[in-house]
Amino acid sequence: MNLLFEPVGLAHYLVVGAILFVTGVVCMATKRNAVGILMGIELVLNGANMNFIAFATPGLRADEGLSLGLDGHMVALFVIVLAAAEAAVGLAIVLSFYYNHLTVDVDEAEELKG
């Protein structure tokens, strides 16, 4: 089976979602810049969003016709809102960190080391 020759379906969405997710995780794990990490988090969240949307496809549901089938979209919307809130809080933390350390290098943040 070769995805490249298939019509666009669920699998393709999932692949895009997975790529987004992994990219985000790698971004979080490698960036020393705090803003970069926040961007990685956005990518992870959007990867997850892709999955929610993808699985919301009407043909995949056992209760098709009985419900509106909008739960996946709803959750995705929540995640977007959540991401916005998270970004706001996260940027505030980064700013405050900058005021205290005059840098946004997360390796400098080791006060909570055990």
Partner 1 sequence: MDLTTALPVLLATAWLLPLGSFALIVLFGPWMGRRGVGAGYLATGAIVVSFVLSLIALLGWLSHHPIADAGHHAAETVEHGHEAAASHAAPAEALKPVAGDWYALGRFGSLAITIGYYIDSLTLVMFTMVTLVASCIHFYSFGYMHEELGIVTDPLVRKANGRLLKRKGRFHRFYQYLSLFCFSMLGLVISGNVAMVFIFWELVGICSYLLIGFYIERKSASNAANKAFIVNRVGDFGMLIGLMVLWSTLGTFSFGGIFEQVRPADAGHELIVPDGMVHAAAADEIEQITLTAATPEEANQAIETATPGWRNAGYGQWLLIIAGLGIFCGCVGKSAQFPLHVWLPDAMEGPTPVSALIHAATMVAAGVYLVGRFYPVFTPEVLLVIAYVGCITLFMAATIAITATDIKRVLAYSTVSQLGYMMLSLGVGGWLAGLFHLITHAFFKSLLFLGSGSVIHACHTNEMPEMGGLRKKMPWTAYTMLTGCLAISGAGIPLLWGLSGFHSKDSILAQLFSFRIQNSVHGNILFWAAAGGAAITACYMFRLWYLTFAGKPRNEHVAQHAHESPAAMVAPLVILAVMAAIAGWKVPFTNVGVDTLIGQSRPVGTELGVGANTAVAVMPAERLSHEKPIHNTVSWIAFFTALAGFLVATVFYGVRRLDPDDVRKTFGPVYTFLCRKWYFDELYQLIFIRPVMVISRAVAAIDKHGLDWLADNSARFVKWISRLDEWIDRLLVDGLVNQIARQTHRLGLALRAVQTGNIRQYVMAIAFCTVTLFVVITLYWSYIMAAGS
Q: What residues make contact with partner 1 under the rule CB under 8 A? A: 25, 28-32, 37, 106-107, 109-114
- Dump the DSSP string for 49-113: HHHHHHHT-GGG-TTBTTB---HHHHHHHHHHHHHHHHHHHHHHHHHHHHHHHS--BGGG--TT-
Shortest Å distance, C-beta 36 to partner 1: 10
Minimum Å gap between C-beta 73 and partner 1 is: 26
Closer to partner 1 by Cβ: residue 7 or 114: 114
Q: Smallest distance from the beta carbon of 1 to partner 1, in angstroms?
A: 19
Nearest to 79 by CA among 38, 46, 39: 46
Question: Which CB sits closer to partner 1, 28 or 79?
Answer: 28
Q: Which amino acid is located at 29 in the chain?
A: A
Least separation in angstroms between CB 32 and partner 1: 7
Task: Rank residues 39 and 106 by Cβ distance to partner 1 and give the closer one.
Answer: 106
Which amino acid is residue 57, in one-letter code?
T
